[in-house]
Amino acid sequence: MKHLIITVIGQDRPGLVETLSDTVYQNQGNWLSSSLSKLAGQFTGILQVEVADQYVGVLSSALSQLDDLQVQIVEEESKTLPTSVVHHLLVTGNDRSGIVKDVTTKLNQLGINIHKLKTHSDSAPNWGYPIFSARFQLELPGDLSIEYVQEELEKIADDLTIDIDDN
């Protein structure tokens, strides 16, 4: 069996997820996991699909022929994932340019792998300005303590709240 990582983007409309899931199903694929969103009127997504070797070409061809969707398919390099402790990081603060860049730069300097990142900005009516939040799933190198990571991230800016936990 092959594992495919598929990214899609196109103008959002009702029925896109059903079309995508039906195409995977009709071409012998098994939908394993996904993250799908509507961003600025566009449907965006990434999914992992398992398919027998002999159907990779058929599934790839069917997906690339979907109307109004840009599709990119990459074959997963490794099926076995190393076991590691995943830490959750929540960064919140007044919305401003550069928060994601500052945090990801520091994480990279520390040799930390980002498994997942989800961001959003919400209005804070009582405060009069938007509040930004970013949720990360992180894999730390074995010789790096979570306490040290917390200290380093807190040095980025006084206006950010940094919360890290093991689950």
> Any idea what DSSP says for residue 98?
T
Q: Which tens digits make up the pLDDT trace of 84-137?
A: 678 999 999 989 999 999 999 999 999 999 999 999 998 877 767 899 999 999
Helices and strands: H and E segment counts in the chain: 4, 8
Cβ(45)–Cβ(8) below 8 Å: yes
pTM for the complete prediction? 0.77
Q: Which tens digits make up the pLDDT trace of 24-51?
A: 999 999 999 999 999 999 999 999 999 9
Q: Strand 113-124 vs strand 86-94: parallel, antiparallel, or unpaired?
A: unpaired
CA atoms within 13 A on the CB side of 54: 0
